[in-house]
């Protein structure tokens, strides 16, 4: 019997960086990733029941019990790829990357056709800054399951870091075609990337489809609000955005929207002045920090833009924009590197 479990385990970071460093590439993370496991039980029995118990514990977030049950399975069946994958999954949740790499390598060795184990191993390798190896794992996972959104988004992160923006976009579009359209996180990612590239019209096209298919998802409407704002369509944007920050004063909204309008009309100096004032008065306003990053990027001040996006990821007032800001931060990081002068459509858009 073959089953697939897809619980949400909060904010498991499938793409993360390890120790902070000014040289370390930032990366967006999966806000609520599907933590799935492929299970194959040839015959019912005690080992299969234990493995189901380990999976159920992992679904509940009880990592201690999941680890204990997975180890019990391995005592009876040392060749259980699923048990090794559970152990690797627990290690990922605990950010014990060395143990995760060991366990997931073993899971892949025992079952090289497991797209879930390959994807988790790729995420672990990326956390360890082994980007080349990570990309190989994601590609293998996609060869098995072309609609594997988590693998595709992680691979896109690597491509963005390398300045291969057109390849990242093509891959995300290919993933949406393979999934027949329901992958909302990939739509969110692609919309965010277009926004980061200062291409709001392309962002609107993807966001409109996301809003249509995810009418009950608040994040879809919120992102559409940012798209409308970055297009200069303030009257359309405000109803979508103000719900997320009801505590923000009318004066602050006026400053923000005026600043963004200045950016869309090419008055970058005035846009920067207003947004610096907005973020000085409300440092914890995520949208203010994000829009400051957008104007700094348009000015090609990518180092400062990266810092603004980083603050947008860390602040908690209002709707979480960590995924959006993480993509923007990654793009700004690669754009400000002197060696990376290829494939920078943002620079063309900023002219």
So what's the pLDDT on residue 291?
96
Is 346's pLDDT higher than 70?
no
Q: What is the mean pLDDT of residues 72-98?
A: 92
The pLDDT assigned to 178 comes to: 85
- Is 180-351 in CATH node 3.30.750.80? no
pTM of the model: 0.79
Per CATH, the homologous superfamily of domain 1-161 is Tetratricopeptide repeat domain (1.25.40.10)
Residue range(s) in the chain whose domain bears CATH number 1.25.40.10: 1-161, 180-351
Q: What is the pLDDT of residues 263-319, one digit of tens each?
A: 999 999 999 999 999 999 999 899 999 999 999 999 999 999 999 999 998 865 555
With a cut of 60, say whether residue 22 has pLDDT above it: no
Residue bearing the bigger pLDDT, 342 or 201: 201
Query: Which tens digits make up the pLDDT trace of 97-154?
Result: 999 999 999 999 999 999 999 999 999 999 898 999 999 999 999 999 988 888 999 9
Map tokens 């090794």 to a residue: 84
Report residue 4: phi and psi, to 5°.
Answer: -135, 125
């Amino acid at each position: 019997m073959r089953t697939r479990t897809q619980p949400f385990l909060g904010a498991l970071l499938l793409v993360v960086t390890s120790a902070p460093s000014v040289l370390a590439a930032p990366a967006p993370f999966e806000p609520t990733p599907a933590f799935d496991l492929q299970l194959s039980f040839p015959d019912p029995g005690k080992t299969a029941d234990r493995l189901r118990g380990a999976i159920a514990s992992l679904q509940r977030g009880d990592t201690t019990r999941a680890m204990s049950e997975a180890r019990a399975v391995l005592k009876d069946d040392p060749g259980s790829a699923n048990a090794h994958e559970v152990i690797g999954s627990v290690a990922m949740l605990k950010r014990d990357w060395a143990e995760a790499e060991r366990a997931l390598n073993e899971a892949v060795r025992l079952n090289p056709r497991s797209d879930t184990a390959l994807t988790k191993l790729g995420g672990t390798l990326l956390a360890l800054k082994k980007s080349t190896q990570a990309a190989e794992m994601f590609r293998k996972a996609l060869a098995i399951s072309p609609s594997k959104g988590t693998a595709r988004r992680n691979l896109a992160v690597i491509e963005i870091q390398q300045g291969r923006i057109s390849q990242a976009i093509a891959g995300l579009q290919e993933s949406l075609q393979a999934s027949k359209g329901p992958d909302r996180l990939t739509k969110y990612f692609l919309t965010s990337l277009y926004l980061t590239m200062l291409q709001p019209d392309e962002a609107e096209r993807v966001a409109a489809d996301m809003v249509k298919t995810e009418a009950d998802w608040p994040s879809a409407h919120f992102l559409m609000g940012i798209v409308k704002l970055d297009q200069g369509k303030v009257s359309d944007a405000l109803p979508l955005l103000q719900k997320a920050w009801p505590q923000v004063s009318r004066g602050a909204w006026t400053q923000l929207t005026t600043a963004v309008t200045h950016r869309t009309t090419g008055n970058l100096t005035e846009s920067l002045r207003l947004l610096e004032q907005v973020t000085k008065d409300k440092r914890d306003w995520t949208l203010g920090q994000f829009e400051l990053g957008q104007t700094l990027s348009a000015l090609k001040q990518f180092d400062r833009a990266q810092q603004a996006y980083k603050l947008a990821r860390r602040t908690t007032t209002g709707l979480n924009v960590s995924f959006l800001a993480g993509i923007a931060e990654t793009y700004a990081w690669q754009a400000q590197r002197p060696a990376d002068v290829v494939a920078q459509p943002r620079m063309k858009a900023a002219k």
